[in-house]
Amino acid sequence: MLTLLTIGEVSRRSGVASSALRFYEERGLISSHRAGSGQRRFPRSVLRRIAFIVFAQRVGLTLAEIGAELAKLPPDRAPTRRDWSRLSSRWTSRIDERIAELERLKTGLTECIGCGCLSLDRCKLSNPDDRAARLGPGPRYWIGDRPHVG
């Protein structure tokens, strides 16, 4: 017999708010069964899908990317360790990029806070005449682009 959990039980067990669970369900990331009273009931295996969603968001995947990844899991059974391993192995480079980004942020913040003066000749936030704009949108120097000197 399949053990079904209420939305409150899933929320408590996963640490994810009930409103977020309803949102994930609306987006097709998780699914529930409806009890005779209309209340949502989730299979216990949904906890793994939710853990995957939370972790994937922390890595930087969008909900659309997460949905595409979850769609690769078998719909007729609970995913196995092999299924999850195959899924997560595809984003090793994404995790490495995120680690490098966080290391750059850590170094940059240490320099700024350590200096305290935000000196324009050393500051990573300095961008005279918006030179970084030609490199693309966003905080170009923080994400690893180097200022062009000359």
Residue-wise pLDDT for 106-135, tens only, equals 877 766 655 555 555 556 556 666 777 788
Residue spans of the domains in the chain: they are 4-79, 94-135
Q: Kindly report the pTM of this predicted structure.
A: 0.65
Please give the pLDDT value at position 3: 83
Architecture of the domain delimited by 4-79: Orthogonal Bundle (1.10)
| Tokens coding 2 | 């399949």
User: Per residue in 53-96, pLDDT tens?
Assistant: 998 898 888 999 999 988 888 876 778 888 888 877 777 888 88
Residue pair 33/10 in contact (Cβ under 8 Å)? The answer is: no
Please give the pLDDT value at position 9: 96
- pLDDT beyond 60 at 5: yes
| Tokens coding 48 | 């793994």
CB atoms within 10 A of CB 71: 10
| Tokens coding 39 | 């209340």
Give the H or E element holding residue 81.
Answer: helix 81-88
CB atoms within 10 A of CB 132: 20
Query: Which residues in 76-108 are b (16+ Cβ under 10 Å) and which e?
Result: eeebeeeeeeebeeebeeeeeeeeeeeeeeeee
Question: How far is Cα 21 from Cα 60, in angstroms, rounded to an integer?
Answer: 19
